[in-house]
Amino acid sequence: MEQTIWTEKYRPKDFNEVLGQDGIVNRVEAFVKTGSMPHLLFTGPAGVGKTSLSLVVARQMFGNAWHSNFLELNASDERGIDIIRNKVKDFARTRAIGDVPFKIIYLDECDALTREAQQALRRTMENYTQTCRFILSANYSSKIIDPIQSRCAIFRFKPLPKEDILRLIQKICKNEGVQIDDNAMEALQIVSGGDCRRVENILQSAAAISDKIDEEVIYSLSSVARPKEVKEVLELALNNKFIDAREKLLDVMLNYGLSGLDIIKQIQREIYNVELDGRKKMRLVEKCGEAEFRMTEGSDEFVQLEAFLANVALIGTS
């Protein structure tokens, strides 16, 4: 088995390899073609192409010399904004290699910066606008201060739609010579939540186990229970079979290695799939919220899960 990490092996090298994110890729490509680009702010969830698209920009703008003209920093790694400012200063001070209009600084996880640090970043961006463009990346744009947002063209990345995730799975499996059945593809698409990195990591682990991947393998590797089994737990409880529901729940958690928080989030999603009148569903959703909150606050997960199941049974029989 080969040792490269698939998330790197399958990182897009060109604009046309970036899946999904339609409007965004075209607009960013247009900046590169004209050789003029504002500062950019990429927002969105994990594993949807923010870092990848920035690297494509650098490759396309700078060709072989892209390494020398591209600086990647992580706002949450580096201790404090001062370190970032010094690194930016050092990088911006040296002239760009080759005939390029500016260098690019990619700053990941900007929403980890405090408001004060963001103010400092804003001044840094202004000071080096002559020589550098910033691409900022964050999960949520609402955590970025307005003065920075207004200096950037903002691009909101989305989880990848089903067709694109399936395309990615097919491409990798074909290339790696692994077989995957339709149910497993469907399962992988569901557990990925539109995150390509998650797809690639699960696929690589699955392929290491077997060259014929089925649904079972996908669920066992992904810390996600089969939706069917979670639904069963809910249905047992709703039918007042509390003890059976409790047993099934523990079983599912053990089998898939799930924490209380993992499972309560899955239960929450399954509520919408059970046969039940709307008001009762709303009460279940409310109870889920309570249990989830208490668990994140550190309350014992088994106590909370049992209390939740008791509530489900009470609601089911009310």
Ligand X SMILES: Nc1ncnc2c1ncn2[C@@H]1O[C@H](COP(=O)(O)OP(=O)(O)OP(=O)(O)O)[C@@H](O)[C@H]1O
Question: Where on the chain is the footprint of ligand X (CB under 6 A)?
Answer: 7, 10-12, 18-21, 46-52, 108, 196-197, 200
50 vs 59, beta carbon nearer Mg ion: 50
CB of 195 to Mg ion, least distance (A): 11
Least separation in angstroms between CB 248 and ligand X = 34
Backbone angles phi, psi at 243, to 5 degrees: -65, -45
Q: Which does 227 bind (CB under 5 to 8 A by kind): Mg ion, ligand X, none?
A: none
Residue 180 CB, shortest distance to ligand X, in Å, is: 17
138 φ/ψ angles, rounded to the nearest 5 degrees: -155, 155
SS3 179: strand
- CB-based burial, 142-176: b 16+ in 10 Å, e otherwise: eebbeebeebbeebebebbeeebbbebbeebbeeb
Choose from Mg ion, ligand X, none: what does 12 bind? Cβ within 5-8 Å by kind.
ligand X
User: Between 7 and 149, whose beta carbon lies closer to ligand X?
Assistant: 7
Length of the chain: 318
According to DSSP, the residues that pair with 138 across neighbouring strands are: 43
CB 137 to ligand X: min, Å:
6
Assigned token pair, 234: 């809910």
Nearer to ligand X, 148 or 168 (CB): 168
State the Cα–Cα distance between residues 297 and 271, nearest whole angstrom.
23
Nearer to Mg ion by Cβ, of 11 and 50: the residue is 50
CB nearer to ligand X: give 10 or 91: 10
Give the CB-nearest residue to Mg ion: 51
Q: Which does 18 bind (CB under 5 to 8 A by kind): Mg ion, ligand X, none?
A: ligand X
- Minimum CB distance to ligand X, residue 240 (Å): 43
Q: Cβ(135)–Cβ(110) under 8 Å? A: no
Residue 49's binding partner among ligand X, Mg ion, none (Cβ under 5 to 8 angstroms by kind) is ligand X
Please name the helix (run of DSSP H) or strand (run of DSSP E) that holds residue 200, with its range, or none: helix 196-209
Total chain residues near Mg ion (CB under 5 A): 2
Which residues, in sequence order, are bridge partners of residue 154?
Answer: 41
The least CB distance from residue 10 to ligand X, in Å, is 4
Query: 197 contacts which partner out of Mg ion, ligand X, none, CB within 5 to 8 A by kind?
Result: ligand X
47 binds, among Mg ion, ligand X, none (CB under 5 to 8 A by kind): ligand X
Q: Considering only residues 42-71, where is the footprint of Mg ion by CB under 5 A? A: 50-51
Instruction: Decide whether 17 or 306 has the Cβ nearer to ligand X.
Output: 17
Does 223 sit near Mg ion (CB under 5 A)? no
DSSP string, 68-137: GGEEEEETTTSSHHHHHHHHHHHHHHSPPSSS-S-EEEEEE-GGGS-HHHHHHHHHHHHHTTTTEEEEEE
Q: How far is the CB of 197 from ligand X (least distance, A)?
A: 4
List beta partners, residue 134. Answer: 105
Residue placing its CB nearer to ligand X in the complex, 20 or 260: 20
CB 104 within 8 A of CB 69: yes
Q: Measured between alpha carbons, how far is 221 from 206 in angstroms, rounded to an integer?
A: 7
Q: What are the residues binding Mg ion (CB under 5 A)? A: 50-51
